[in-house]
Amino acid sequence: MKSTIILCSGGARSGKSEFAEQLALSKQGRKAYIATGQAFDEEMKDRIKKHQLRRGSEWINFEIPRDLHDNWKQINKVSDIVLIDCLTMFTSNHFFSCGEIDSQEDANHAESVILTELRLLLQDIKNSDNKTVIFVTNEIGLGIVPENKLTRFFRDIMGRVNREVAIAADKMYFTVSGITIELKSQEVHING
């Protein structure tokens, strides 16, 4: 049986991670939690601690900030349901590992690195049998255009990352203020 890809999106603190966790827990099988966040400051340490406390003993936990494709074989062996939280941190980790991003050329290079890694991971998932992989991501493109160039570069790349996974996804959920709706079944296709 083919694998299923699910994307859970929403704004910061919208409840998307909690929804994704409950969705994963509602499914039968061994569960892996892939945490991509890194604790570089007090706010991230607190955020990670809250996520860890919320998770129970049902999860096999991995901390993988960037190289999800390189670690897929190990994850695949020990799990049936995989929750990746989150694509935003995965993208941020790659973005800042590319060095100084001062120009459009630098941003294009960072985007290429990130999308290559993501596409390899999506192919790994599609080549796996009977997995459910749930991605969590932040929708960061609904606000005003950022004033600073680096933030604009990141926002644009994040939008492309989210779009890539949304296209590959079998289902997509969007959470606003703790309310979640399913979007993929309502997707509009224009033919012709």
Kindly list the catalytic residues. Answer: 51
Q: Which residue has the tokens 């590959």?
A: 168
Q: Which two tokens stand for residue 106?
A: 């630098």
| Positions of E strands within the chain | 4-10, 31-35, 59-63, 81-85, 132-138, 171-176, 179-182
Do the beta carbons of residue 84 and residue 135 sit within 8 Å?
Answer: yes
Please name the residues in contact with 92: beta carbons below 8 A apart, sequence gap of 6 or more. 154
Q: How far apart are CA 155 and CA 15, in angstroms?
A: 21
- Residues 40, 44, 46, 48: what is their CA dihedral angle, to the nearest 10 degrees? -100
Do the beta carbons of residue 24 and residue 135 sit within 8 Å?
Answer: no
